[in-house]
């Protein structure tokens, strides 16, 4: 079999496939299965800032009644929510040989960053911050909204020394500028891109409902362009591809575009964690058919810098190609 080893965040991975943060990475047993199936690393199910806050407030007593009890319950629930997560990290590090990357899903730039230090002390190899500040204030400029990311990075860099990777969305006015700014501020990697809660409408019940959570393979088109362009920049930031990865061939596409690693989730819900073995085999078979011995031989071969027709990454209007389509 060809050599699938790669480097990510300064860590050596035996495969570019990473099991992304989800229910599938919430127990030591599942994490061990991922390792045995050939995953290069695991990202633990996210610790939610808002989840902790919700639990704290839900246990508070009526206004003006027992403030001491409120303080006790708040601290107890906070400590135990965090402690359960820290124990998952410790257990994973005891039982796995592959990198363990905890995840925090946050919606503010401060207040929760103390969690990150606890996570580092529990033995985490890196930390993934799942973040997107939805701009809903029409009077706040893009620059003001983006500053929240920089404030977050500053707080985290003061707190931990392990590598930090940001899992981001694609709704920036200038994605390449933001990634460059992340790199300048010491971020080691970015995950492109996050899948957010999106609304749908049930016209029979006349209610707003959640849209489908799992990705479809055609969603790669939203990701390939920006990985192809971001990986061509003159900065040494690792890129982990996410969304629309349903086969080893899908992973190859992202690696050709310049991704360092590829995160997998939806397909494992449908086919089981052991499907990682099949995906690794598909990557290896493709490499063998093209004469590539290792990942470095072809990573980025079709990105914006290396492809002979880079303007295909820039084109946004399709009239030229489809004006005669019938």
In the β-sheet with 164-168, what is the strand arrangement from edge to edge? Answer: 47-48, 103-106, 127-131, 164-168, 189-192, 238-241, 261-264, 17-19, 41-43, 100-101
Cis upstream peptide for 187 (omega within 30°): no
Predicted pLDDT of residue 278: 98
pLDDT at 324: 47
- The pLDDT, as a whole number, for residue 108 is 85
For 201, the token pair is 């409408």
Identify the residue whose tokens are 């492809």.
307
- Is residue 235, in this structure, part of any structural domain at all? yes
Q: How far apart are CA 267 and CA 214, in angstroms?
A: 8
Position 135 scores a pLDDT of 77
Q: Do 8 and 42 meet the contact criterion of CB atoms below 8 Å apart?
A: no
- Of the CA atoms within 13 Å of residue 60, those in its CB half-sphere come to 13
- DSSP for 46-98, please give it: PEEHHHHHHHHHHT--STTS-HHHHHHHHHHHHHHHHHHHHHHHHHHHHH-SS
Provide the greatest CA pair distance for the chain: 73
Name the token pair of 218.
Answer: 């055609």
Residues 195 and 243 sit within 8 Å (Cβ to Cβ): yes
- What DSSP element (H or E) covers 6? strand 6-8
Q: Does residue 1 belong to any structural domain of this protein? A: no
- Residues of the chain where predicted confidence (pLDDT) is lower than 50: 55-56, 61, 64-66, 72-73, 319, 323-326
Cβ atoms within 10 A of the Cβ of 139, count? 5
Residues 272, 39: contact at Cβ < 8 Å?
A: no
Backbone angles phi, psi at 12, to 5 degrees: -90, 125
Distance, CA of 230 to chain centre: 16
The neighbouring-strand residues paired with 238 are 189
Q: Which helix (H) or strand (E) holds 144?
A: helix 142-159
Q: Rounded to the nearest 5°, which phi and psi values hold at 76?
A: -65, -50
Query: How many residues make up the chain in this entry?
Result: 326
Domain range enclosing 30: 6-322
DSSP string, 153-195: HHHHHHH--S-EEEEE-S--S-HHHHHHHHHHTT--EEEE---
Q: What are phi and psi of 127, to 5 degrees?
A: -140, 135
Residue 149 lies in a domain: yes
The contacts of residue 76 (CB under 8 Å, 6+ apart) are: none
**For residue 52, what pLDDT is reported?**
54
In a domain, 295, yes or no: yes
- pTM of the full predicted structure? 0.87
Kindly state whether residue 199 falls inside one of the protein's structural domains. yes
pLDDT tens for 105-129 read 988 888 788 888 999 999 999 999 9
Instruction: Indicate which CATH number applies to the domain containing 261.
Output: 3.20.20.70
CA distance 62 to 112: 25
* Structural domain count of the chain: 1
Q: What is the pLDDT of residue 252?
A: 98
Taking the C-alpha atoms of residue 307 and residue 300, their distance in angstroms, rounded to an integer, is 9
């Amino acid at each position: 079999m060809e050599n699938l080893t790669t480097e990510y965040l300064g860590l050596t991975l035996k495969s570019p496939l990473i099991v992304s943060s989800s229910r599938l990475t919430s127990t030591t047993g599942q994490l061990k299965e991922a390792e045995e199936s050939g995953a290069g690393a695991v990202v633990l199910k996210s610790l939610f800032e808002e989840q902790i806050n919700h639990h704290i407030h839900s246990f508070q007593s009526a206004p003006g009644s027992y403030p001491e009890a409120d303080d006790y319950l708040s601290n107890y629930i906070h400590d135990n929510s965090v402690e359960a997560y820290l124990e998952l990290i410790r257990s994973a590090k005891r039982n796995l040989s592959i990198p363990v990357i905890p995840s925090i899903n946050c919606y503010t730039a401060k207040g929760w960053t103390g969690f990150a230090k606890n996570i580092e002390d529990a033995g985490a190899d890196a930390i993934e911050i799942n973040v997107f500040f939805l701009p809903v204030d029409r009077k706040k400029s893009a620059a003001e909204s983006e500053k929240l990311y920089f404030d977050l990075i500053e707080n985290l860099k003061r707190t931990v020394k392990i590598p930090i990777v940001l899992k981001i969305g694609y709704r920036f006015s200038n994605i390449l500028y933001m990634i460059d700014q992340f790199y300048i501020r010491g971020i080691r990697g970015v995950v492109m891109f996050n899948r957010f809660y999106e609304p749908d409408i049930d016209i029979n019940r006349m209610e707003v409902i959640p849209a489908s959570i799992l990705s479809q393979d055609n969603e790669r088109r939203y990701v390939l362009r920006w990985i192809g362009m971001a990986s061509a920049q003159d900065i040494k930031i690792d890129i982990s591809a996410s969304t629309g990865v349903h086969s080893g061939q899908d992973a190859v596409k992202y690696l050709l575009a310049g991704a360092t690693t590829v995160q997998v989730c939806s397909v494992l819900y449908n086919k089981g964690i052991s499907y990682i073995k099949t995906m690794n085999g598909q990557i290896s078979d493709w490499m063998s058919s093209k004469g590539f011995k290792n990942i470095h031989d072809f990573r980025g071969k079709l990105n914006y810098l290396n492809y002979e027709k880079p303007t295909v990454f820039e084109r946004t209007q399709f009239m030229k190609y489809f004006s005669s389509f019938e």
